[in-house]
Amino acid sequence: MDIQSIPIKRLSTEESTTFDRRTIDYIQKAAAHGLYEIRGLGAKRALPHFDDLLFLAGSLSRYPLEGYREKCVTKTVLGTRYAKKPIELAIPITIAGMSFGALSANVKESLGRAATELGTTTTTGDGGMTPEERNSSKTLVYQCLPSRYGFNPNDLRRADAIEVVIGQGAKPGGGGMLLGQKVNPRVAKMRTLPQGVDQRSACRHPDWTGPDDLAIKIQELREITDWEKPIYVKVGATRVFNDVKLAVHAGADVVVVDGMQGGTAATQTCYIEHIGIPTLAAVRQAVDALEDLNMKGQVQLIVSGGIRSGADVAKALALGADAVAIGQGILVALGCNAETYVQDGVHHSALEGYEALGTAPGFCHHCHTGKCPVGVTTQDPVLEQRLQPDVGSKRVRNYLKTLNMELTTIARACGKQNVHHLEREDLVALTLEAAAMARVPLAGTDWIPGFQGR
């Protein structure tokens, strides 16, 4: 028998770590367009996050509470420092500021209805307050942004709290963007802009610079609203320790810290992926700042940026946050990146829409195009109908309810009758990075890297 030798041709498949396929794609796109990539949602790179923390539940040294029978309080009060009318939330989970413009009016209405049913707040964004969201939200937070689009004293007085936005986690130091496709007649009118312009918002406020000015600005907002409403100051996470201290100094009732996993409707990718610090690191620094000033409990802390689950909420609270805010998780609950959209109870495929954008469910970040195949981040009169307020509000309500159930499950396991009793001591870290950032010990050790000279 003849044994024939088979010729072997080896295919070289060693991918460069420096110039991997993603990098090659990035360079070639840049070469083709001469323009940086702009996209939606948040950082996609792997970052130390709440997943790197675990809870130590009750056992012999601590005892747990019964999962269903024993009480676990979730009530949360914000704005106790100066406001005559603080905000009382039934759950410590709020809906983050997202603009009408980025989102459709149907989405804004869905968020308001869900938040109202669950006893929490929703927040306006860089485009003013719509009647849809004011009428559907029992408690609405009104943002005061650098652009001041649609900003007016009537809405200020109609708001339940005011949030002065200095920056957001996806782009600390950057102004808003809304590409022309989304600047339709209604959006243009609300923002006093020509229709269809690629809208760039300012990155600094027009009438104040620096923390001393901010103190006077906050006082102005208080004077106009006769000291009734809580005033939040929102910062994108960078030099969090100093920024939180300065916000407190400027007179904030509540400080909102948004980590780099926080989302955006449209921002340069280089901004999203390379500017700011992870939420995990930011919470720790924010809490340190409040403790350093002896203001913990007097000034409340809201944390946002990549909060997805009840476990994430519990970990943020254990690290010292009073509440969290969720943006992208809410969009996903509404149907962002789903294969279908629902019309009067019937599912329809959205796959063609994703394909037209050159993407697929699970990967889509094309909020900036306004061509959202599931009708969430769009101003297109046809596409926006794909998200019906009844469906949207039910989904968001279910999502928030689930998070709250998970949160109380964890709190009870840790033996807490109140979710705000969760503490740093309940946490350990899985990685050195998370241990150092969150300043909790590496699991199974008493080692906190970099703490007290160790």
Q: Which of 246/338 has CB closer to another protein?
A: 246
Minimal distance in Å, beta carbon 80 to another protein? 19
Give the interface size with another protein as a residue count (CB under 8 A).
38
Q: Which of 335/370 has CB closer to another protein?
A: 370
Q: Which of 11/35 has CB closer to another protein?
A: 35
Q: Extract the tokens encoding 409.
A: 């499950």
Q: Contact with another protein (CB under 8 A): which of 27, 73, 90, 216?
A: 216
Q: Which of 116/199 has CB closer to another protein?
A: 199
Check residue 424 and report its DSSP letter: G
- Under the binding rule (CB under 8 A), the answer on residue 59 touching another protein is no
Q: Which of 12/154 has CB closer to another protein?
A: 154
Q: Contact with another protein (CB under 8 A): which of 108, 245, 284, 368?
A: 368
Residues facing 386 on adjacent strands: none
Q: Contact with another protein (CB under 8 A): which of 59, 135, 152, 349?
A: 152
- Within 225-244, which residues bind another protein (CB under 8 A)? 225-227
- Within 183-202, which residues bind another protein (CB under 8 A)? 191-194, 197-198, 200, 202
Q: Contact with another protein (CB under 8 A): which of 67, 131, 153, 297?
A: 153
Residue 353 CA to its chain's centroid (Å): 26
Q: Contact with another protein (CB under 8 A): which of 27, 73, 224, 351?
A: 224
Binding-site string for another protein from residue 157 to residue 176, where x marks contact by CB under 8 A and - marks none: x-------------------
Check: CB of residue 268 under 8 Å from CB of residue 36.
Answer: yes
Q: Contact with another protein (CB under 8 A): which of 89, 93, 98, 179?
A: 179
Q: Which of 34/444 has CB closer to another protein?
A: 34
User: Within 10 A of 216 (CB to CB), how many other CB atoms are there?
Assistant: 12
Query: Any residues with CB less than 8 A from the CB of 304 and at least 6 apart, and which?
Result: 96, 169, 256, 257, 258, 259, 262, 279, 324, 325, 326, 327
Give residues in contact with another protein (CB under 8 A): 33-35, 37-38, 147-148, 151-154, 156-157, 179-180, 191-194, 197-198, 200, 202, 206-208, 213, 216-217, 219-220, 223-227, 368-369
